[in-house]
Amino acid sequence: MQITLNGNKVECEKGKTILEIAQDNDIRIPTLCWQEDFHPEARCRICLVEVNGKLMPSCSTKIQKDMQIETETEKVKKTRRMNLELMMADHLKSCFIDTSNHELCRIVAEEGIKNIRFEPKKQHGKDTSGRAVVRDPNKCISCGRCVQACRDTQNITAIDFAYRGHKSKVTPYFEKDLHKTYCIKCGQCILSCPVEAIVEQDHTEQVIKHLADPKKHVVVQTAPAIRASLGEEFGNKPGTLVKGRMVAAAKALGFDRVFDTNLGADLTIIEEANELIDRVKNNSPLPMFTSCCPGWIKYVEHFRHDLIPHLSTCKSPHEMLGVLVKTYYAEKQGINPEDIIVVSIMPCTAKKFESAREELGNDVDYVLTTREFAKLIKLKNIDFNQLDEQDFDDPLGISTGAAALFGATGGVMEAALRTAYETATGKSLAKLEFDQVRGTEAIKNGSIHINNIEVKFGVAHGMMNACELLESYKDYHFIEIMACPGGCIGGGGQPIPTTWEIKKKRIEAIYNEDAGLSLRKSHENPVLKKIYEEFLGDIGGTKAHKLLHTGYVEREL
C-alpha cells in the first residue's frame, strides 16, 4: 500500500498505524498516552497529525491507501502546543525537572514552549502513606498509562479513573490510600508513568543518614537482576553486566560490607528444593508455588486465600541473607545485630513492602530500587563507568550461576530443578539448561522425571498471565510466578524505560552470567555448605526452619 508521508511516497504494510509508519521512517511524532504493547486509547491528543486536512491521532489511526499525512503543519504544531500547555499548566507547579525520564517535560522542551498561558488551578492531596508506592496526583496528566499497566498487564486494577471532566483523576478505588488497597506494589505503574506522578517511596535519605553514622555497621546486598540493568542508568547499553563496578560503587558509597543476594538465592533454592521433595513425598499440598516474589505473595493474600497452603514457606533471597547477616555474620564478627543496618538493592518496589512485614522482623532494614541506588551514586558524584571492578565481600559473597538466573522469568524454576533433581536422585544433570522455562512466552511449562515421578512444572510472569495459569494450576507440581512481565529484570524498580526490547537484553545478560560461572548449582555453593555445617544444621531442619521460613496472612479485598 502506498501513502504520502510529509510529501514523500512511502510503501507500507496494511494494518499498521500512522505512528508505526512514522517510526519506521524515522519521523518524530511525540506521544504521551501511547505505550508499546497496549491498545491505544488516543487520550492525550499529542500525536495528532494532519490526514487529508483533518487532524487524526496517529497512534490509533490505521493507514489507508493514498492517505496524505503531514506531521508538522502549522495546524498540527499549534494544536499540539496548546494541548501541551493545557497539561503543563497544572503539572508545572509540582514538577522538578531533574531527570531525563520525564517524557512530558522533554516533549515540552522539544517543542520550544517557554511560556504557559494558563494559571495552575487544581490542588490534590498526595498519597505518600505507602511504604512501597506513592502518588502525587498534582503531577498527573491523566494519560491513563498506569491504569492500563495495572489493568491490562497485571489484572489488578487497584487504580482507575474516577469523577469526570477536569475533576477526573486517577485514584485507588473509593479514593482509599494506596496502602489500604489490594494493590500488589509491583510498580509496573511507575514504569509506565511519563511524569513521575507515581513513584517508589524514597528511602535514600535514611540510608545516607545511616552511612554517615560511625556506630552503625551498614551492609548492602544486591539482587540478581540489578547487575544486568544498573548500567543503563549510566549510559551503558541494555544488557551490560556491571557486577564489578556495582560492587565498587557500593564500597565507594561507604557501605561497610557488600554482600550478594545471589548467595541468599542459592540458600532459597536449597531450602525450596528440599521443601518440594518433602511435599511430593508427604502428600502435602501440591502444586507448590514459589514465594520469592512479594507482589505475587500479596496477590495470593488478597485474592486467593485457597492457595496460601500451596505457597512455599521459604523467605525470599534477600530476607534469607538479611537473617544470615544479623545472626551468623553478626555472631562471627562479634557485632551486636542491633548495630547492623541491612540495605537491599532490589529491582522491585514490592520488596519495600515485604521488608516491612511484621513476621519478617528487621531482617532487612531498607530496600532501595535500582533507580534509587543509581540516584545515590549520582548524588555522591561517583563516576560509575570509571570505577575499577571489585569483588563481593567475604563471607557472604560467593554464589552460583543458578542464583544469577533468579532475575529472569523461569530462572527460579530452572535453579530449583537443577538442585531438586540432583539432590533427590544423587545423579548429575547431563544438561543444566532447561529450555522449556527460558524465553518470554506468557506461560511456559514442561516436566522432568525425578525418581520415577514425573514432576510437572509451570512458569508465568506478569499477573495477567499468572491468572491464566492459575486456571489450570492443579495440573502441576511446581509453579513459579513472578508478578512482573519478564521477571525481576522487568521489575517496577528498574531503570526507565523498561521495554520488551530492553528486558530481552537484560535476560540475555543474566543467562550469560550463569554460563560463564564454574559453579552453577546452588547446592554446590561452598559457603553455604559451611554455613549449614557450622550454623544452620540440617537443610529444612529446626534452626533452618526458624530462620529461613515464614508464613502468610489472609488480607481483605
Partner 1 sequence: MQILEKSGLEAWKKAKEMKPEKVISLLNKKGLAGRGGACFPAGTKWEFALNSESDKKYVICNADEGEPGTFKDKYIIINNPETLVEGILIACNTIGAKHAYIYLRREYRYLEKNLTKIIKKIIKKADTDIQIDIVLGAGAYICGEETAIIRSIEGRRGQPYYKPPFPAVEGLFGKPTIINNVETLANVPLAIIKDDWNPNLRLFSLSGNLKNPGIYEMPLGTSLKELIALGKPEKSIKAIYFGCAGGCIPFNQEWKIDPEFINSTGCMLGSCTMIAVDESQSIVDIVTIIAKFFEYESCGKCTPCREGSMRILSLLEKISLGYANMDDIKLLEELCCVIRDSSLCGLGQSSTMHILTALKNFREEFEEKCRLR
Interface residues with partner 1 (CB under 8 A) are: 40-46, 48, 55, 57, 60, 62, 75, 78-79, 82-83, 86-87, 89-90, 117-118, 121, 141-142, 161, 163-168
* Distance between start and end Cα atoms, the chain: 51
For residues 429, 269, 132, 505, the Cα torsion angle rounded to the nearest 10 degrees is -20
Q: How far apart (Å, rounded) are the C-alpha atoms in residues 335 and 426?
A: 39
Specify the long-range contacts of residues 552-557, CB closer than 8 Å, at least 24 apart: 552/297, 552/300, 552/301, 552/308, 552/311, 553/301, 553/359, 554/301, 554/305, 554/308, 555/182, 555/298, 555/301, 555/302, 556/182, 556/302, 557/182, 557/302, 557/303
Closest approach of Cβ 33 to partner 1, in Å?
Answer: 9
Closest approach, Cβ 496 to partner 1, in A, equals 22
Q: Which is nearer to partner 1, 171 or 419 (CB)?
A: 171
Q: Strands (DSSP E) along 150-270, which ranges? A: 159-162, 169-172, 198-200, 217-222, 257-260
| Cα–Cα distance for residue pair 11/51, rounded to 1 Å | 17
The residues carrying an active-site annotation are 272, 275, 292, 312, 351, 354, 359, 488
If the CB atoms of residues 75 and 456 are measured against partner 1, the closer one turns out to be 75
> Grid coordinates in use for 462?
506478569
For partner 1, the closer of residues 44 and 311 by Cβ is 44
If you write DSSP's letter for every residue of 355-407 in order, what string do you get? HT-GGGTTS--EEEEHHHHHHHHHHTT--GGGPPP-PPPSSS----HHHHGGG
- Which of residues 60 and 128 has its CB atom nearest to partner 1 in the complex? 60
Q: Report, in Å, the least distance between residue 160 CB and partner 1.
A: 8
For residue 258, the SS3 value is strand
Whole-Å CA distances, 420 to 8, 286, 453, 505: 61, 15, 12, 29
Task: Report whether the peptide linkage leading into residue 57 is cis, meaning its omega lies within 30 degrees of zero.
Answer: no
Q: Toward partner 1, which CB reaches closer, 78 or 332?
A: 78
Question: Which residue lies nearer to partner 1 by CB, 166 or 555?
Answer: 166
Closest approach, Cβ 317 to partner 1, in A, equals 41
Least Å from the CB of residue 55 to partner 1 = 5
Q: How far is the CB of 250 from partner 1 (least distance, A)?
A: 43
